[in-house]
Chains A and B, each alone.
Chain A
Amino acid sequence: MTDLSPPAAFLAAGPDQPRRNPSGMGAALRHDSALKHATGEARFLDDLPEPPGLLHAALALSPVAHGRLAPLDPAPARAVPGVVAVLLPGDIPGRNDIAAAGTNEVMLADGLVEHAGQPLAVVVGTTRDAALAGAAALRPEIAPLPPVLCIEEAIAREAWVLPPQAITRGDPCAALAAAPRRLSGEFRAGGQEHFYLEGQIALAVPGEDGEMAVQSSTQHPTEVQHLVARVLGCDHNRVTVTTRRMGGAFGGKESNASWVAACAALAARRTGRPVKLRLPRRVDIAATGKRHPFLYRWTAGFDATGRILALDAIMAADAGHSLDLTGGVIFRAITHALGPCDVPALSVRALACKTNTVSNTAFRGFGGPQGALLIEDVVHRVARAAGLPPEQVRERNFAGGGNGSETPYGQPLEGDLIRRVWAEARADADWDARRAEVAAFNAQHPYLRRGLGSMVLAFGISFGQMHMNQAGALVHVYADGSIRLNHGGTEMGQGLFIKVAQVVASVFGVDVARIAITATSTAEVPNTAPTAASTGSDLNGWAAHAAASAIRARMAEVAAEDWGVAPAEVEFAEDMVRAGGNRAMSFGELAKLATMKRVSLSATGFYRTPDIHWDRAAMRGRPFFYVSYGAAVAEVAVDTLTGEHRCLGAWLVQDCGRSLNPAVDLGQVEGAFIQGLGWLTCEELWWDAEGRLRTLGPATYKIPGSRDVPPVLKVRLLEGAPARSETIFRSKAVGEPPLLLATAVWNALKDAIGTDRLDAPATPERVLMAIRDR
Chain B
Amino acid sequence: MTSVSRPIIEAEHLSKTYTLRKKTGRLKRERTTVEAVRDLNLAVAEGELLGYIGPNGAGKSTSIKMFTGILSPSAGRLRVAGLEPIRDRKQLARRIGVVFGQRTTLWWDLPLRDSFALLHRMYAVPDARFAANLKRLVALLELEPLLDTPVRQLSLGQRMRGDLAAALLHDPAVLYLDEPTIGLDVTSKAVVREFLAELNREQGTTIVLTTHDLDDIERLCRRVVVVDHGTVAYDGELDTLRARVAADRTLVVDLAEPVPAIAVPGAAVTRIDGPRQWLAFPAEANAAALVADIAERYELLDVSIRDADIEEVIRNLYTG
Same assembly = no
B-to-A contact residues, CB < 8 Å:
none
A-to-B contact residues, CB < 8 Å:
none
